[in-house]
Amino acid sequence: MPDDLRITKTRKKIYHALGELMRETPFDKITVCGIMKKAGVSRKTFYNHYQDKIDLVQEYQKELSDTIRQIFTQNTDMGRALIEKLAMFLNTQDYLLTALLSYNGSLELQCIIRGTMEKYCMCQLKQVIEDPLQLEYQVIVTANSIFSIVQHWLVTGKKISPEELAGIVIKLQGIHEISAW
């Protein structure tokens, strides 16, 4: 078990380093050497974990996506508790998440998260919306609005708490549901 903790700590250091670098430098200009230097890890350590910087981002995206899917799977309704859990988890993440979810970030990760949200919204909304066309569009509107609000929260520096964010999402979804149909 001590090895697992060391691996986790090392990966977090490397993720943090890449996130910090991405705050000021485009991803394509960042080198593995720069990541290693910023993280304070050796070349051997970096390559024990990742093949290259692309592999690093893909591993991070996979870990993040798996956790987000788990949050959605463990919550049975689209209420405030789900949004709070999602926001609290995202609040624990580092600069790398913000960089990847920024407007110029990783479209792959953004599509994975949106897809997960759409599947979840579909499961929830099909219980209350019978018309297939209305359901299809309501799923898109709901998933994308939640994603966009969370994205904005991250990109603008998380100026409010996860609980306040959840309250805003719930209020906006409520207003939308009343006025949309």
What pLDDT, on the 0 to 100 scale, is given for residue 177?
Answer: 44
User: Percent of the chain, pLDDT > 90?
Assistant: 41
- Within a domain: residue 127? yes
As for how many domains the chain has, the answer is: 1
What pLDDT, on the 0 to 100 scale, is given for residue 101?
Answer: 85
Chain segment 123-164, per-residue pLDDT in tens: 888 888 999 999 999 999 999 998 999 899 998 999 999 999
Place 180 in a pLDDT band, splitting at 50, 70 and 90. Answer: very low
Structure tokens of 40? Answer: 């304070």
- Within a domain: residue 24? no
Domain that holds residue 146: 54-180
Q: How far apart are CA 64 and CA 68, in angstroms?
A: 6
Nearest to 24 by CA among 13, 12, 38, 36: 38
User: Percent of the chain, pLDDT > 70?
Assistant: 92
- For the segment 33-40, the average pLDDT, to the nearest whole number, is 97
- Within a domain: residue 35? no
Q: Is the pLDDT of residue 179 over 70?
A: no
Please say whether the beta carbons of 96 and 60 come within 8 A. Answer: yes
- Angle value at C-alpha 141, between 136 and 147, nearest 5 degrees: 125
- Within a domain: residue 42? no
Please say whether the beta carbons of 160 and 167 come within 8 A. Answer: no
- Within a domain: residue 156? yes
Name residue, tokens 């093949």. Answer: 51
- For the segment 69-76, the average pLDDT, to the nearest whole number, is 80
Q: What phi, psi does 51 have (nearest 5°)? A: -75, -35
Kindly report the CATH number assigned to the domain that includes residue 107.
1.10.357
Residue type, 60: Y
- Within a domain: residue 14? no
